[in-house]
Structure formats: structure tokens, C-alpha cells
Chains A and B, each alone.
Chain A
Amino acid sequence: MTKLQKNKIKAKTKSPSILILEDEKYYSRVVKLKLKIEGYQVEVADNVNDFWKLLKTFKPDLVLLDLLLPQQNGFEVLRMVKKDPLLKKTMVIVYSSLSQGDDRAKALQLGAKDYFIKSELTLADLVAKIKNLI
């Protein structure tokens, strides 16, 4: 039995869940695959509308939130999650493809648990960040 198969079985019992809001499908695909292999339940929303629906139905333990979204700024999404009494306890990791000076501070100030720049992180680093939280 492969690690992926073993973890699929584990995922059916109870393993932490992660929702990714990312419009770049090749990025979300590889991250989703890695996280599933690590034993997490993972869903991807490629737009803000689907994201809100999945937040309420999938009820993730953690959200990976891209800052650069076509319809809405990621900070705005984070602000709304943290304002909602039912969602505010959901942990959020914010990330971006641009290294802009105060993004990290702003994300943490708005309630994100962590922040990273896409090109600076390996998949192993990402898993380590997630394991720190859930």
C-alpha cells in the first residue's frame, strides 16, 4: 500500500482539513496533492464565491489564502473571515507571489497565523508550517 493510499484511509477517519483559495490551478494542484499525501483532507476554491460556500460546508481547520486574487484582494477576504463569528477561529495562512514589505505584518495584524512568499518556500517547508498549526 502506498503512502497516498494509507493516508486516504486515514483521511476518511478524521484528519485535519485544509481549504486552499488559489486561482492558479497548476499551483493548487501540486499543493493539494502534497497535502493529501501528508494525510490532510484538502479542497480547493479557485474563486471567492466557491471559497465562501466551501468554508461553510467543508469547515476547514486551516485556510491557505492567496493575496493576489482576480475578484477580490486577499486581505479583504481575511478581514471578512475574521469578522464572521462562526469562522473567525479558522486558522489562516496567507501567501503571495510578490514580496511586498508590509504584507507579512498586515496579514498577521489581521489575524493570519503565518505568511509566506510562494517562490521562497519548498513543499517540505509548507508542510512544516502547517504541522506547526494543526
Chain B
Amino acid sequence: MTKKNNLTARDNFFLVAAHQLKLPLNTLRLNLEMVASGDLGKINSQIKKNINQAIKIDNQMLELVTDFLNAAAIEKQERPPVSRLDIIKEIKNIIQDETILAKRINVSLKLTVEPASLKSLSLPVVNFKEVIKNLISNAIKYNRPRGSVNIKIKKVAAKVFIEIKDTGIGIPAKDQKKMFNKFFRANNALKKTTEGTGLGLFIAKSYVESWGGRINFTSRENKGTTFYIEIPVK
């Protein structure tokens, strides 16, 4: 078996398989959406509930496949192109998207920007969105009912700091060193939900470091976790 860009033939097989899975999963979701929306005829509330459940599961599978593809791109050392992006606008859009999940489990989301005149950054937009979406979504998923997620953005000298603070289950001290390892999931997170690949934080760290930045966290079990991202302004 020959190695190419750190990827073995077996890795490449899984990569192709992941790509091939994405399309049918997406088309399946669209078909389910048509049934759920009533476009094809009236459906009763129980059918609607089950179809919506199937859409949710399909979306989870799509997220898993996306995680696998992103992790593989990191292994291949792919460098996505960089563009100017308004990070506040991007973060606001992500918060908007995550509101549905937050409302469902009764978690409040708050964004604080200081100062308001923050400049745009040169970053790979898809990767930036992936990191922020991952951290905000984790902060919601591993939170408690009536908990909160506070997102702060500030610029100090030539650096942008993004802080994502939750009131969730926290990360046990013994697991904290392994949190950025590929496929690692903390014990209490596994107990809360079996969903998740353990790739999200590995992907986040790889991306942030490729921008010349840093990512870290502080956490207390049953109190909450705060993630800190530091990105140099270029």
C-alpha cells in the first residue's frame, strides 16, 4: 500500500465512499421534505412527525459524512483558497441557523461584539464557518435546559479573539488533554448523546492553526466550557 499525501489507499477508498454517500443522503432529504411540507398531499400529524424525524436523522448522517471529508482534507494537507470575509456577518448567520436547535432545548444564544468596527479577515470562508458552527453547536448540544451560550468577539492589537462560553456539562479534567485528538469523545458527552464523530474539535484545531491562530478552552464539569480562538489579523 503506497502513501500519497499522508493518505493510504484505504483512506482514499473511504473518502470516495463518503463523497458517494453525500449525494443520495441529500436527495433523500429533499424527497422527505416534499412529503413533510404537504406538497404531495395532506398528511396527518403522526406521519409528519415521523418524516421530520427521518429528516433529522438524514441531516445527522450528512454532518457525519461532511466531518469525515473535512478530516480527510486535513490529512491530505489541502490548502483551501482564502478570501476577505466579514466575520461578524458570518457568525451572525451561523447563530441564526443554530437558533432552531437552541430553541428546541431551551438554550439562549447571545452575541457581543466589541468594538463594532471590527475589520474583515482573510480566511478560507468554508473552514471558518465550519469551526464556528461546530463550537456553537457543541455549546448548545452539551448544555442544560435554560442554559446559555455567550459568544464574544473582540479585536486587540493585531489579533481577533472569539470566545464561546456555555453553561453545559463541561469536560472532565481527565479528558481535557485528549479533547483535540481525532475520534476522541469525553465520557460525559458520550452519555449525553451517542451522536458525533469526535472529529469536530480535531478539525477546528487543524483549521485555526493553519491560519496562524490558536484554540484552547477552560472547563469545569457540570459548570460549563469556554472555548477561546485567537486569529492574527492579516
Give the interface of A toward B (CB within 8 A).
Answer: 2-4, 24, 26-27, 30-31, 33-34, 37, 97, 99-102, 104-105, 118-119, 122-124
Contact = CB atoms under 8 A, between A and B. Distances in A.
B26 A118 contact: yes
Nearest to B30: A30
B111 interface: no
A100 B37 CA distance: 30
A2 B41 contact: yes
A99 B34 contact: no
The interface residues of chain A, by DSSP majority, are classed as: helix
25 contacts: A26-B24, A27-B26, A27-B30, A30-B27, A30-B34, A33-B39, A34-B39, A37-B39, A97-B19, A97-B23, A97-B26, A100-B80, A101-B80, A101-B82, A101-B83, A101-B124, A101-B125, A102-B83, A104-B125, A119-B22, A119-B25, A119-B66, A122-B29, A122-B33, A123-B30
Given A24-B27, A30-B31, A118-B26, A100 B126 contact: yes
A102 B123 CA distance: 11
Given A101-B83, A119-B62, A24 B23 contact: yes
Interface of B: 19, 22-27, 29-31, 33-34, 37, 39, 41, 62, 66, 80-83, 124-127
Contact of A124 (B33, B80, B82, B126): B33
Contacts of B25: 119
Contacts, number: 59
A23 to B, nearest CB: 11
Given A104-B125, A118-B26, 11 more contacts: A4-B39, A26-B27, A27-B26, A97-B22, A101-B124, A101-B127, A102-B80, A119-B22, A119-B66, A122-B30, A123-B33
A28 to B, nearest CB: 9
A34 B34 contact: yes
B231 to A, nearest CB: 16
Contacts of B24: 26
Contacts of A102: 80-81, 83
